[in-house]
Chains A and B, each alone.
Chain A
Amino acid sequence: MRRKFVRTLGVAFAITGMLAAAGCQDSGGDDPATDATGAAKCTGKIATFGAFTGGDSGLVIPSLNGIKLAFEQFKQKNADCDITLQEFDTQGAPDQATGIANGIVQDESFLAVIGGGFSGESKATMTQFEAAGMVMVSQSATATELTAGTNKAFHRVVGNDGTQGAAAVVYIKNVLKSTKPFVVDDGTTYGQGIIAEVKKGLGAVAGEDRIQKDQQNFDATIGKIKSAGADVVAYGGYTNEAAPLLKQMRAAGVTAKFLGFDGLYDPNFPKGAGAGAEGAIVTCPCLPASEAGGTFAADFEKKFGIAPGSYGAEGFDAANILLEGIKAGKGTRKGLLEWVDAYDKQGVSKYIKFADNGDVDKSKVVIWAYEIKGGAITPQQEVSLS
């Protein structure tokens, strides 16, 4: 009897585990089978990958929602087209992304990729997509080095960290009037990259530290910030580490202003950091939702019940570029790559035309500073680049 009970419990336990495991995998759309109307040209699959779960997912999900909205609106207008979106969750980890990229590359029905959400996973996968002749349009990977090489696949509808870093330096010097800035990064492609830009712009810093992903206690970092007498702490990284860091900083009595970058434009950041996040600044090469063009912001809010947030408009643009390409009869990997390279049109987030290296025109990029007020990320001011 007792053994039976234990076994039953064990089975229940195992089932919970399997359900949990199943939950990790995002179900994708079905293979686009033959369409009755015979409009063979307007079919295909588009993949998107990013941190759809995990501590940093709050940054990526708004753009995923933007992508979904674009697909939905496209379907309403073009009932004869059968283009499906398939999403792959990487939890933001480059090592998970490479496996996923392999799968996408080998499945010929995937025509193009929206993503990656983060710089690290984009860097890890862009050679794979280049070799397969596929185009990547990222809505939010900002690291400067992604477009510094010769990769043909990578494009982004967002400004890069060279621009964002320069704007952040202006903000730190002119608005915060900092004399003792302290910089911290998380060692990722993105975090390390943006902090390098900021250090270059600032010249001298009061001190610096590099933490690691998934670090949870920051005694040594906080000790250094205190010893340096910093008046501003600039952090390059994501919510998963920034929220506990800021919380512990405030608990330890550090009053320095906290400045993060687009990686922290994530509603879960103020939530995780609690009251300590009040007054923290986040810069982002993204427009406030209210400034986006067309009816996008209203449509988004109607569908998802919340404002677009970080990179919602950029995700929407990235999806539309590819959807328009397929609609225009460029429904092959090669066709879409050429289509994106030649793209020249106004999007909802900005005017989109790609340079040879895959960046959007720098003059069309605007950097905004957002302030955390009452636990919400609210637009504060546009940061001029001079």
Chain B
Amino acid sequence: MNFDELFGHFGQHTVDGLAKGAIYALVALGYTLVYGVLKLINFAHSEVFMVGTFAVVGVWTAMGATDSPPVGTLILLLVAGLAAAMAASGLTAVATERIAYRRLRRMNAPPLIFLITAIGVSLVLSEAYGVWLARFFQGDGLGSQRLVVGMPAVIKQDVLFSVGGTDVTNIQFIIFVSALVMMAGLDQFINRTRYGRGVRAVAQNPDTAALMGVNKDRVIVLIFLLGGLLAGVAALLWAIRYGNTRFNVGFVLGLKAFTAAVLGGIGNLRGALLGGLLLGVVEVYAATLTQSNWEDVAAFVVLVVVLLFRPTGLLGESLGRARA
């Protein structure tokens, strides 16, 4: 137990954890939105994120991105990367709903069927990218399947400001602010707009909402789209911060994001943010205290303990019951 290291640089580890958790939170929103409305755990969401990361590499490769480009190019790269990732992730999410889930819903398939379909879609996407698509990014006769794909480090990581010996880097700051802004925007959208009211209505009671004239299918497409767009943002942030992707990049991340959603209270948007940040911080603390391979153990112990005392998560399940 390395307490000296943890408490000696406590602020630093907290900042690292928060930045890590912010990405979990953005992906967690996708799980929570879909669960809140459909009571469906959309396991394919991790691949929605993965597709986004590949869209970023694709666009950057096509634009000939290099390490630390000049500011003008950098902004162009970021905008193009963001647009590509959001488009790719959004489309994947909507297509998944359209192809795999909608017909099942019409036929009133039992929940288990949805779950298996979701896992199936997830595997199909991930393996297809691993085996087939990755070769466009890296391949030279030494095998191109399931490789790690490196991306250019477009933003050079620098210390932005320091508070009491704790450095916050520019990238961490961007990630953190983006996550908060996206979160607040989504929260407002769900709570204040007409579309958001539709989402809440369907979440509360789909049949009654339909009787009141809410187009259920449109609402469902909307939430898949929103989840996909947020995963696209997360994909760009991931590309800036970690600079690598691979076919199964979404697997562990998706699991963590789902955990974050459950931790905060699945179906609850603010809970997803809280759960994500908490999970990120717990992981970094645990890895610092022991070794990095213990971080998952710590993360899931926290989940189990929290659920023992608060079975509906920290903030409760509440997309439908949010203030009108």
A binds B: yes
User: Interface of A with B (CB < 8 Å)?
Assistant: 3, 6, 9-10, 13-14, 16-17, 19-21, 23-24, 52-55, 57-58, 60-62, 91, 187, 208-212, 214-221, 223-224, 227, 239-240, 243-244, 247-248, 251-253, 267-268, 271-275, 304-306, 309
Does A251 contact B145, Cβ atoms closer than 8 Å? Answer: no
Chain A contacts for B244, CB-based, 8 A: 216, 243-244, 247, 272
Expressed in whole angstroms, the minimum distance between the Cβ of B184 and any Cβ of chain A is 25
The chain B residues found within 8 Å of chain A, CB to CB, are: 5, 8-9, 12-13, 16-17, 19-20, 67, 95, 98-100, 102-103, 123-124, 127-128, 130-132, 138, 140-143, 145-153, 156-157, 169, 171, 241-244, 246, 248-249, 251-253, 283-284, 287-288, 291-293, 295-296
Q: Cβ of B147 and Cβ of A223 under 8 Å apart?
A: no
Q: Are B291 and A209 in contact (CB under 8 A)?
A: yes
Q: Which of B143, B151, B292 contacts A57 (CB 8 A)?
A: B143
Q: A57-B146, A209-B292, A305-B141 are in contact. List 15 more A-B contacts (CB 8 A).
A: A17-B127, A19-B132, A55-B146, A57-B145, A58-B143, A211-B292, A214-B252, A216-B252, A216-B253, A223-B12, A247-B150, A247-B242, A248-B242, A272-B148, A306-B140
Residues of B within 8 A of A309 (CB): 142
Least CB distance from B286 to A in Å reads: 8
Task: State which of B9, B152, B283 has its C-beta within 8 Å of the C-beta of A274.
Answer: B152
Listed A/B pairs (11) with beta-carbon separation below 8 Å? A10-B100, A20-B124, A54-B145, A210-B293, A219-B284, A220-B287, A247-B243, A268-B142, A271-B138, A272-B138, A274-B152
Indicate if the CB atoms of A223 and B124 lie closer than 8 Å.
no
> Main SS of chain A's interface residues?
helix
Closest to B292 in A: A211
Contacts of A217 in B (CB 8 A): 20, 241-242
Query: How many A-B contacts are there with CB distance less than 8 Å?
Result: 170
Distance A23 CA – B12 CA, assembled complex (angstroms): 45
Please indicate the chain B residues that have their CB under 8 angstroms from the CB of A273 in the complex.
Answer: 150
Q: Which residue of A lies closest to B152 (CB)?
A: A274
Tell me the smallest distance from the CB of B130 to a CB of chain A, in Å. Answer: 8
Chain B nearest Cβ from A91, distance in angstroms? 7
* Residue pair B99, A6 in contact (C-beta under 8 Å): yes
Neighbour of B146 across the interface among A91, A209, A243, CB < 8 A: A91
Q: Which chain B positions have C-beta within 8 A of A306? A: 140-142
Residues of B within 8 A of A19 (CB): 132
Most interface-central of A13, A60, A220 (chain B CB within 10 A): A220
Partner of B153, one of A16, A23, A57, A251: A251
Q: Tell me the bound Cα distance from A259 to B152 in angstroms.
A: 22
Contacts of B12 in A (CB 8 A): 223
Collect the chain A residues with CB atoms within 8 Å of residue B100's CB: 10
- A residues less than 8 Å from B138 (CB atoms): 268, 271-272
CB distance B284 to A54 under 8 Å? no
**Shortest CB–CB separation between residue A364 and chain B, in angstroms?**
28
Select B142's contact among A91, A243, A267, beta carbons within 8 Å. Answer: A267
Residue of A nearest to B249 (CB): A216
Known contacts A20-B127, A20-B132, A223-B284; A248 and B243 CB within 8 A of each other: yes
Q: How far is the CA of A305 from the CA of B140 in the complex (A)?
A: 10
Cβ contacts under 8 Å, A3 to chain B: 103
Residues of the B chain whose Cβ atoms lie less than 8 Å from the Cβ of A240: 148, 246
Q: Tell me whether A187 and B148 are in contact in the complex, defined as CB-CB below 8 angstroms, given that A6-B98, A219-B16, A223-B16 are known contacts.
A: no
Known: A247-B153, A268-B147, A271-B138. A53 touches B293 (CB 8 A): no
**CB nearest to A220 among chain B residues:** B287
Closest chain-A Cβ to B69's Cβ sits at a distance in Å of 13
A residues in contact with B140, CB < 8 Å: 267, 306
A223 contacts B142, C-beta separation under 8 Å: no
Most buried by B among A20, A240, A272: A20
Identity of the chain B residue whose Cβ is nearest the Cβ of A18 in the assembled complex: B124
Assembled-state Cα–Cα distance A309/B132 (Å): 25
Q: How far is the CA of A216 from the CA of B292 in the complex (A)?
A: 11
CB of B9, distance to nearest CB on chain A (Å): 6
Listed from nearest, the 7 A-B pairs whose CB atoms lie closest are A220-B287, A53-B145, A17-B124, A57-B143, A219-B16, A272-B148, A212-B293
Interface core residue of A21, A52, A58, A268 (most chain B CB under 10 Å):
A268
